[in-house]
Every structure is written in C-alpha cells, then in structure tokens.
Structure 1
C-alpha cells in the first residue's frame, strides 16, 4: 500500500524519521557528536536495509525497505520516549564529569523500545506489502 507511493515521498518519509530520531537524541542526550553519529548510522542502516532487502529470496524492493526503515526509526523514537528523563539525567551528569560505578536502567525501558519497534515493524510489513 505505502510502497506504491512515489519514491520521492518515501525518501521524505525516511528523511523525516531520521530527523525525528536525531532531534530526539540531541534533545535527550545533548551531545552534538552523538547526534552526528546517529545521523551517519541512520544513513548506513537505510542503505544496508535496502541492500539486504534486495538480496532476500522474497525480493523486497527499495520502496518496501524505505517504509520498513521509516517505521522502525519512528518506533525506536517512540520507544525511547519513556526513558527520556533518565537519559537527560545521565547525560547531564556525564557532561558535569560525575562518574557512577553503575548506571541503573530499569528493565521496562528496553522493553518499551522492543515493544514499540515490533509493533511498528508489523505495521510497516502490513503497509508495505
């Protein structure tokens, strides 16, 4: 369904998803180098997903992989939303030079990321086929 859109719209959708994730990372962590690293990693992941999708026996095309990429990145952003306060706290401590022996990251936060990515990927699969 979404894979039938023109390629320009799908590229805009992927660019928007990347922008939202990088903006969230920059807002919650505040490190410019990390934001740039996420941008580079995002572009590499997008190109990698397109290459892997083309080599699968199902033969997913670039349009379908762009839909999957966009939904996955939005799912990651939504999943990190509940942990934004703890990320802000830890990044602020890191900038001030405070070192902890162990950082506590409750199990519900990674579970939220995994759950939102799975839901968004299932939705992307349905909308891309």
Structure 2
C-alpha cells in the first residue's frame, strides 16, 4: 500500500521521521554535537537500509525500505521517550566532565524501546 506511493512522498515521510527523531534527541540530549550528529546518523541509517534491502535475496525496493525506515525511526523516538530524563541527566554529567564506570538504564526502558521499534516495523511491513 504505502510502497506504491510516489517516491517523493516516501522521501518526505522519511525526512519527517528524521526531523522528529533529530529534534527529540537534540532536546533530550543537550549539546552542540547532537544537532549535527543525529541527523547525519539518521541519513546514514536510511541509506544503509536502502542498500541492505537491495542486497537481500528478496530485493526489497527502496520504497519498501523508506517505509520501514520511517516507521522504525518513529518507533525509536517513541520508545526512547520514557528514558528522556535519564538521557538528559547523563548527557549533562558528561558535559560537566563527570565520568561513570557504568550508565545504568532500567530494563523497562530498554524493553519499551525495543518493543516499540519491533511493533512499528511490523506495522510498516503490513502497510507496505
């Protein structure tokens, strides 16, 4: 369904997902680097997904991979929402120069992030 849309709409959808993710991460993780790093990593992941889709035995089209990327990236943003305060706290400590041996993240935060990415990827597969 969604993969049959014109490529321009799918690129717009991927750009919107990248913008939402980058905006959220820049807000949750203070610092100048986050405004540059997260959009660059997002674009690299998108291009990597398209390349990985082409290398698969089934040869997933770029349209399918753009749908997967968009839904997966929105799922990741939603999944990281509960841990935003913890990420903010750790980022501020790192900016002040405080180094910890281990940055503890509760398992419920990790499981929520993993489950939302899996659920959104499943929905993307159904809709594409």
Structure 1 length-normalised TM: 0.92
Q: Note the alpha carbon deviations across 1:12-68, whole angstroms, 9 max, x for none.
A: 100010111111110000122133122111111111111111221212111110000
Query: What is the number of residues matched between the two proteins?
Result: 128
Report matched runs for 1:47-126 at 5 Å. 47-126=47-126
Q: Give me the CA root mean square deviation.
A: 1.3
- Measured in 2, the distance between the counterparts of 1:98 and 1:56 equals 44
5+ residue gaps, structure 2, are: none
5+ residue gaps, structure 1, are: none
- Measured in 2, the distance between the counterparts of 1:103 and 1:69 equals 28
Structure 2 length-normalised TM: 0.93
Instruction: Tell me whether 95-104 or 69-78 shows the greater mean CA deviation.
Output: 95-104
- Measured in 2, the distance between the counterparts of 1:7 and 1:27 equals 30
